[in-house]
């Protein structure tokens, strides 16, 4: 079973709209979460990390973590066509290896 | 800032062939990683290394060897390429701690005929 599950598999929003991506972990050892974004033909790039319950905002991006339910979400406000990409949620256990477990990703398409 | 360079960008191999992929980083990071990305399967960890000459197996290490002879470089060898295999191999690096961001290279695209 996939330890980090993402939904939806794909999402289409109009330019200027709000995109909401979800991620749930099945492993209570996972304490730290990241969102990565991958444009076609490139490697993934970290968008933001979240380790504490609640919201974390960086520009148009807001991540929300609920440790009790092991649910993390990413909300993109005022979506732009350049936000069209594959978004990964990743989680890790406490420790010094930096080993990440990735979800399968959500493909976001922002329609101009 | 820094950069991760992966060579080659594209690799076409024959079934049974041994293939080597190379990765260089100038972040001065201690930890480096190799991931495999297949369509619809996300990223899966093959090998990682927390320091020079260290190697740790990931979830997908069977069929691969790795080498970390210098802090700045990390190589991956496909020991016997499988026919019709098609995947992207991604190299990443991070500072040693478990909560540090990983920085990825652009990938090597492998096709086995």
**What whole-number distance in Å separates Cα of residue A99 and Cα of residue A43?**
17
The DSSP H or E segment spanning B93 is: strand B86-94
Q: Across the interface, do A46 and B105 touch by the CB < 8 Å criterion?
A: no
Q: Which residues contact A72 (CB under 8 A, 6 or more apart)?
A: A22, A23, A24, A25, A33, A35, A50, A63, A64, A65, A66, A89
**If you measure CA to CA, which chain A residue comes closest to B9?**
A41
CB B95 within 8 A of CB B41: no
pLDDT at site A97: 67
pLDDT surpasses 90 at B97: no
pLDDT surpasses 80 at B107: yes
Please compute the mean of the pLDDT values over residues B46-68 and round it to a whole number.
94
Q: Is the minimum CB–CB distance between B43 and chain A shorter than 8 Å? A: yes
CA A84 to chain centre: 14
Q: Across the interface, do B92 and A43 touch by the CB < 8 Å criterion?
A: yes
- From residue B93, alpha-carbon distances to A11, A93, B54 in Å are 30, 17, 14
**If you measure CA to CA, which chain B residue comes closest to A6?**
B42
**If you measure CA to CA, which chain B residue comes closest to A33?**
B99
pLDDT at site B98: 66
Residue ranges in chain A modelled with pLDDT below 70: 94-97
Using DSSP, state whether A83 is helix, strand or coil.
Answer: helix
* Cα within 13 Å of Cα(A33), Cβ side: 33
All residues of chain B having their beta carbon less than 8 Å from the beta carbon of residue A95 are 98
Q: Across the interface, do A104 and B105 touch by the CB < 8 Å criterion?
A: no
pLDDT at site A22: 98
Q: What is the pLDDT of residues B12-50, one digit of tens each?
A: 999 999 999 999 999 999 999 999 999 877 899 999 999
pLDDT surpasses 70 at B87: yes
What does pLDDT average to over chain B? 93
All residues of chain B having their beta carbon less than 8 Å from the beta carbon of residue A3 are none
**If you measure CA to CA, which chain A residue comes closest to B50?**
A97
Q: What is the pLDDT of residues A58-71, one digit of tens each?
A: 999 999 999 999 99
Q: Which residues contact A59 (CB under 8 A, 6 or more apart)?
A: none
Q: Across the interface, do A97 and B43 touch by the CB < 8 Å criterion?
A: no
pLDDT at site B55: 95
């Amino acid at each position: 079973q996939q330890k980090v599950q993402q939904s939806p598999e794909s999402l289409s929003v109009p330019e200027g709209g709000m995109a909401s991506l979800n991620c749930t972990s099945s492993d209570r050892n996972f304490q730290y979460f990241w969102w990565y974004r991958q444009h076609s033909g490139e490697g993934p790039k970290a968008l933001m990390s979240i380790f504490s319950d609640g919201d974390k905002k960086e520009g148009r991006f807001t991540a929300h973590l609920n440790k009790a339910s092991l649910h993390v979400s990413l909300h993109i406000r005022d979506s732009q066509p350049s936000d069209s990409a594959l978004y990964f949620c990743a989680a890790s256990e406490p420790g010094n290896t930096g080993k990440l477990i990735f979800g399968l990703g959500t493909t976001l398409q922002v329609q101009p | 800032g820094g950069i991760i360079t992966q060579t080659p960008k594209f690799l076409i191999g024959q079934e049974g062939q041994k293939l080597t992929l190379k990765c260089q980083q100038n972040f001065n990071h201690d930890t480096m990683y190799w991931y495999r990305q297949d369509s619809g399967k996300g990223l899966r960890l093959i090998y990682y290394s927390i320091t020079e000459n260290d190697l740790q197996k990931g979830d997908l290490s069977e069929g691969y060897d790795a080498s970390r002879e210098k802090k700045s470089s990390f190589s991956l060898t496909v020991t016997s390429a499988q026919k019709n295999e098609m995947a992207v191999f991604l190299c990443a690096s991070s500072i040693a701690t478990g909560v540090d961001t990983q920085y990825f290279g652009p990938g090597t695209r492998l096709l086995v005929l």
